[in-house]
């Protein structure tokens, strides 16, 4: 069995939030394999600590993935501020005899340094074309926790555990290791949040994560962070803004200063992304046609929405508005450019993380969230998602009442279809199955 088959068998998906099946991503040849250790979302502390605690496994997983795609080099992208972790990684690369084949690439402490296209440019100097993916310029990008899962998969250990930071307005910010499927309320309690209904919870980082509709759910293979905020926090109000009110506000309040475009990370890479034009198009009631397809080049990083716009309106929402309309009409952006070069002003227009955190009113929550790598939580019940990955949902292979062992395959996708296998994360009895979840009660 080759390593991609092992990765598929272990159910590895992008652990950073994307959920794309990793075995599919590795099914192409590349010149570079890049580790996304930027963790540019404010307050999240998973990747930097995984690299500190498990450097050998992460380097090993990345290197093995690189070997499979025939990459000439593996580069670990990590922000300059993590000096101690960088030293640990460099020492480990040397100790493993991988100098020259694996190296550490230093990233600036800006948002969004972890956007795949920004990461590719920072580490290789190559610009991914508009609407393209990294493989278009010979790169495969892997998240830090995904590399750890690849290392385990090669050793026939499936994905059953998840690392999550719980941060924000909590008594004790912490990063935890829990079985996939652990109830969200139990994870929140680990940071001292005993009454989550008194708060709003962001599923992921403060910039790109959505507000959770309810906290009755379970940890999935792509849960990365839970950010807890009071209901009256300004970011909560921004995240609750709906399309209709955003469009109305955009029509009346845009000054056409174009700060949204000038600071946009995709525009700065030389793409045509122009949120100020999309805001204008919404204001004039423009039709969703070929003139607004640049909206599709937006990666929805929310920088324009939460940082750049001095009027506090919603340029990203203008992009999202047209993306939806264009999708309905099946119209796709065709770039008239063949080469992409970053704009000259790029290095002066990148947004430092500290300034972003201050603007988001999160500075008082910007604290350590330590991981106790030895401690494993054992819930009484887990709800394991069959649909957390990109592609077709997995079909349950077990029935209510069945006994399952931790690591046992309990959900699978049809051969050849895009998707990922699902494993039991604890030993127990299946107590409930619906189209989305398998619930297991610990024995």
- Residue closer to ligand SF4 by CB (options 295, 371) is 295
Which one of residues 118, 135, 202, 259 is an interface residue with ligand SF4 (CB under 6 A)? 259
Chosen residue from 144, 165, 182, 308 binding ligand SF4 by CB under 6 A: 308
Burial class (CB in 10 A: 0-12, 13-18, 19+), 405: exposed
| Contact flag: residue 257 with ligand SF4 (CB under 6 A) | yes
Instruction: By CB under 6 A, name the one of 70, 242, 255, 361 that touches ligand SF4.
Output: 255
Q: Which of 143, 302, 387, 388 binds ligand SF4 (CB under 6 A)?
A: 302
Nearer residue to ligand SF4 within complex by CB, 234 or 300: 300
| 301 belongs to the binding site for ligand SF4 (CB under 6 A) | yes
Tokens read off for 135: 């493989």
Binding residues for ligand SF4, rule CB under 6 A, total 28
Residue 311 is a binding residue for ligand SF4 (CB under 6 A): yes
> Shortest gap between Cβ of 40 and ligand SF4 (angstroms)?
12
Which residues have C-beta within 8 Å of that of residue 145, sequence separation ≥ 6?
15, 16, 46, 47, 50, 163
CB 341 within 8 A of CB 269: no
Cβ-based nearer residue to ligand SF4, 257 or 363: 257
Whether residue 271 contacts residue 128, with contact meaning beta carbons closer than 8 Å, is answered with: no
Q: Where are the alpha helices (DSSP H) in 106-195?
A: 116-124, 144-154, 184-189
Nearest 5°: the CA angle 136, 142, 146 is 150
* Residue 82 engages ligand SF4 in binding (rule: CB under 6 A): no
What contacts 374, CB < 8 A, 6 or more positions away? Answer: none
Q: Minimum distance from CB of 35 to ligand SF4 (Å)?
A: 23
Residue 190 touching ligand SF4 (CB under 6 A): no
Q: Of 127 and 371, which has the nearer Cβ to ligand SF4? A: 127
> What are the respective helix, strand and coil percentages of the chain, to the nearest 5?
35, 20, 45
The correct pick among 86, 104, 139, 309 for binding ligand SF4 (CB under 6 A) is 309
Q: Which CB atom, from 48 or from 319, has the smaller least distance to ligand SF4?
A: 319
Binding positions for ligand SF4, 317-356, rule CB under 6 A? 319
Cβ contact 89:59 at 8 Å: yes
Place of tokens 């580490």: 123
389 belongs to the binding site for ligand SF4 (CB under 6 A): no
Q: Burial of 198 by CB count in 10 Å (0-12 exposed, 13-18 middle, 19+ buried)?
A: exposed
Asked whether position 279 contacts ligand SF4 by CB under 6 A, the answer is yes
| DSSP single-letter state for residue 30 | -
Taking the C-alpha atoms of residue 134 and residue 211, their distance in angstroms, rounded to an integer, is 29
Question: Is residue 418 a contact residue for ligand SF4 (CB under 6 A)?
Answer: no
Cβ 294 to ligand SF4, closest distance in Å?
9
Return residues touching ligand SF4 (CB under 6 A).
254-260, 264-266, 273, 275-276, 279, 298-304, 308-309, 311, 313, 315-316, 319
């Amino acid at each position: 069995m080759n390593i991609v088959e092992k990765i598929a068998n272990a159910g590895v998906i992008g652990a950073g939030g994307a959920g794309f099946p990793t075995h599919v991503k590795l099914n192409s040849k590349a010149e570079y394999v890049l580790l996304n250790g930027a963790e540019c979302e404010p307050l999240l502390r998973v990747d930097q600590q995984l690299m500190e605690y498990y450097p050998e496994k992460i380097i090993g997983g990345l290197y093995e993935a690189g070997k499979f795609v025939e990459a000439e080099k593996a580069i670990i992208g990590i922000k300059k501020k993590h000096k101690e972790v960088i030293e640990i990684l460099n020492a480990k690369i040397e100790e493993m005899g991988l100098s020259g084949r694996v190296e550490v690439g230093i990233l600036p402490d800006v948002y969004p340094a972890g956007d795949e296209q920004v990461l590719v440019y920072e580490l290789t100097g190559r610009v991914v074309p508009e609407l393209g993916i990294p493989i278009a310029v010979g790169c495969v990008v892997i998240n830090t926790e995904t590399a750890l899962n690849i290392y385990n998969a090669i050793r026939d250990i499936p994905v059953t555990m998840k690392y999550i930071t719980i941060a924000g307005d909590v008594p004790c910010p912490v990063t935890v290791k829990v079985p996939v499927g652990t109830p969200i309320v139990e994870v929140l309690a680990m940071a001292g949040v005993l009454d989550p209904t008194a708060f709003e919870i962001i599923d992921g980082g403060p910039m790109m994560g959505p507000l959770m509709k309810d906290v009755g759910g379970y940890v999935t293979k792509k849960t990365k962070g839970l950010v807890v905020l009071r209901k009256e926090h300004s970011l909560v109000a921004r995240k609750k803004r709906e399309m209709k009110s955003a469009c109305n506000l955009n029509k009346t309040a845009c000054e056409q200063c174009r700060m949204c475009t000038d600071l946009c990370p995709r525009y700065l890479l030389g793409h045509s992304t122009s949120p100020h034009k999309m805001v204008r198009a919404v204001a004039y009631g423009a039709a969703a046609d070929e003139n607004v397809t640049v909206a599709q080049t937006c990666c929805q990083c929310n920088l324009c929405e939460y940082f750049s716009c001095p009027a506090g309106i919603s340029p990203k929402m203008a992009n999202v508005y047209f993306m939806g309309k264009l999708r309905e009409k099946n119209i796709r952006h065709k770039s008239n450019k063949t080469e992409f070069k970053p704009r000259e002003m790029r290095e002066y227009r990148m947004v430092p993380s500290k300034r972003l955190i201050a603007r988001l009113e999160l500075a008082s929550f910007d604290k350590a969230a330590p991981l106790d790598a030895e401690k494993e939580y054992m819930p009484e019940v887990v709800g394991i998602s069959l649909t957390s990955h990109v592609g077709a949902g997995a079909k349950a292979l077990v029935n209510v009442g069945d006994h399952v062992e931790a690591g046992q395959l309990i959900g699978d996708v049809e051969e050849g279809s895009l998707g990922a296998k699902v494993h039991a994360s604890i030993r127990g009895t299946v107590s409930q199955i619906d189209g989305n979840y398998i619930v297991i009660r610990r024995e």
